[in-house]
Amino acid sequence: MWAHPGVAMAGYLERFGEVPPTAGLPLQRADLGWPAGGADADLGAALARFLRVESVQIECSGTAALVVALTALRRLSPERDEVVLPGYTCPLVALAVIHCGLKLRVCDVRAGTLDLDPAHLQRLCIPRTLAVLPTHLGGRIADVATALDCARRVGAWTIEDAAQALGAQAGGRSVGTRGDIGFFSLAVGKGLTMFEGGALVVRDPALRRACAQASADVVPPRAGWEFRRSLELLGYALCYRPAVLRWVYGLPLRRALRRGDWLSAAGDVFEPTIPLHRVGRWRQAVGVRALARLPGFLAQCTEQARRRRNRLAGIPGVQMLVDSEAVPDAAGVWPVLLVLLPTRDCRDSVLRAAWGSGCGLSVPFAHALPDYPSLADALAPQALPHARDMAARLLAISNSPWLNDARFALLCATLAEHCASAA
């Protein structure tokens, strides 16, 4: 189809293309060559320069980076065994805590925001608390200062979950650097990817050494896993384009929606075991080369988000989620545009109308953490009104440049129609 010059890009996408749920940086053929030397395959050093930090530790996933961090902290404070998470966050974060043999404590968020609720957080932070995890969900910058204050009062650490926020800054500093530890994801669809990967940033040199030692102890060199990830990365480089995404992403999505399986549609079904292995030189080299294009790609996405969030905010009943008011000079990144709709019924009616249409509509996570069946044994039923409200009303709109203005306008019209009906 691409060979027909009479088919405009907008028309092609309208008829055949699939917009990915997030704005991921596409790979280029030049990214895939074998590394020429040591520096060419040192993704940690390249990311350290990008983030302007002393060093970055590369792991096989963002989840693995969190496992390494929690393992190091538990060794330093074996008497502490509780980790505080937001009530609305990725289930993989909870699985990492369980993997490390630690207890989950879930904190509500402030109404209509992604910030941890200060009063609830203070009650949860006790002498057994090991770490608190504020989360920069969807590239939006969350309040870390409150988490730091509550954690330090009881001698606990703060780990910033910046999995979806590589490139975001607050006050000229990268997210992930204000807490004791920060981690980023380099998974599929993130701003930078090597199909699966993670980056760990540790502020204190002694704690940095402890994390490096924990990685050496708990992350084995499993060649089979790295070979699999390398093949998957090649597949990603080939398939991450609108024409192919229609089949490799869109077809399974629509099958899940026909079954009424919103967990699978949201990508919330995870294996209980967490793969741990070393990242090879070739995949790191792919990341190093792609990283050179990331600043320009983020700038393009930020400009597109600036225009589109104003249009979304002008739709009666739509509330945009933006960077935390508690963070001065916040400059988040925009893999998605996050909006709250008036009611669950309104949100769900929009999803039923447009989720499977290929326009990049999705939900970040299907439930608040206690409502996942897979976490029922680890989390007692509890009242988290704001987290559950977030799960019920939140909608993610892809900020991929492949979502052209014509399709975005149709999506806005759909939102306006359903919000008007709800009103």
Average pLDDT over residues 192-201: 97
Note whether residue 271 is domain-resident: no
CATH number of the structural domain spanning residue 201: 3.40.640.10
Average pLDDT over residues 52-62: 98
Distance from C-alpha of 39 to C-alpha of 189, rounded to nearest angstrom: 25
Residue 145's pLDDT is: 97
| 293-324 per-position pLDDT tens digit | 999 999 999 999 999 999 999 999 999 999 99
**375 or 37, greater pLDDT:** 375
Q: What is the largest CA-CA distance in the chain?
A: 68
| Residues 39, 177 share a domain | yes
| Residues 159, 47 share a domain | yes
Note whether residue 180 is domain-resident: yes
Residue 38: what are its φ and ψ, rounded to 5°?
A: -60, -45
Average pLDDT over residues 101-107: 97
Distance from C-alpha of 140 to C-alpha of 192, rounded to nearest angstrom: 17
Q: Residue type at 32?
A: L
Distance from C-alpha of 176 to C-alpha of 369, rounded to nearest angstrom: 23
Residue 2's pLDDT is: 27
Where residue 9 falls among pLDDT bands split at 50, 70, 90?
A: very low
Q: Across all residues in the chain, what is the average pLDDT?
A: 94
Sign of CA dihedral 331, 284, 133, 377: positive
List Cβ neighbours of 336 (8 Å cut-off, separation of 6 or more): 21, 22, 23, 138, 139, 362, 364, 396, 397, 398, 399
Note whether residue 252 is domain-resident: no
| Residues 141, 36 share a domain | yes
Q: Where a domain ends, among 203, 218, 233?
A: 218
Residues 118/150, Cβ–Cβ less than 8 Å: yes
Q: Where a domain ends, among 195, 218, 241?
A: 218
Average pLDDT over residues 392-421: 96
List Cβ neighbours of 237 (8 Å cut-off, separation of 6 or more): 27, 29, 31, 32
| Residues 300, 191 share a domain | no
Residues constituting the chain:
423
| Residues 398, 308 share a domain | yes
Note whether residue 321 is domain-resident: yes
Note whether residue 286 is domain-resident: no
Q: Residue type at 65?
A: A
| Residues 319, 403 share a domain | yes
CATH number of the structural domain spanning residue 411: 3.90.1150.10
Residue 15's pLDDT is: 58
Residue 16's pLDDT is: 60
Structure tokens that stand for 90 in this block: 């990725």
Average pLDDT over residues 371-393: 94
Distance from C-alpha of 108 to C-alpha of 87, rounded to nearest angstrom: 5
The CB density around residue 390, as the number of other CB atoms within 10 Å, is 26
| Residues 167, 76 share a domain | yes
Sign of CA dihedral 259, 263, 268, 269: negative
The domain tally of the chain equals 2
| 249-260 per-position pLDDT tens digit | 999 999 999 999
| Residues 309, 206 share a domain | no
Structure tokens that stand for 15 in this block: 């008829």
| Residues 202, 55 share a domain | yes
| Residues 159, 43 share a domain | yes
Average pLDDT over residues 111-130: 97
Distance from C-alpha of 338 to C-alpha of 357, rounded to nearest angstrom: 18
Residue 39's pLDDT is: 79
Using only C-alpha atoms, what is the Rg of the chain? 21
Note whether residue 237 is domain-resident: no
| Residues 344, 199 share a domain | no
User: With 90 as the cut, is the pLDDT of residue 189 above it?
Assistant: no
Note whether residue 88 is domain-resident: yes
Average pLDDT over residues 366-391: 94
Note whether residue 243 is domain-resident: no
Domain that holds residue 323: 292-422
Residue 77's pLDDT is: 98
Distance from C-alpha of 56 to C-alpha of 202, rounded to nearest angstrom: 8
Beta strands of 178-298 (E only): which ranges? 181-185, 198-202
Residues 57/67, Cβ–Cβ less than 8 Å: no
| Residues 208, 317 share a domain | no
Q: Where a domain ends, among 172, 201, 218?
A: 218
Q: pTM (2 decimals)? A: 0.94
Q: Among 31-45, 245-259, 381-395, which is the least confidently predicted range?
A: 31-45
How are beta strands 394-398 and 361-362 bridged, if at all? antiparallel
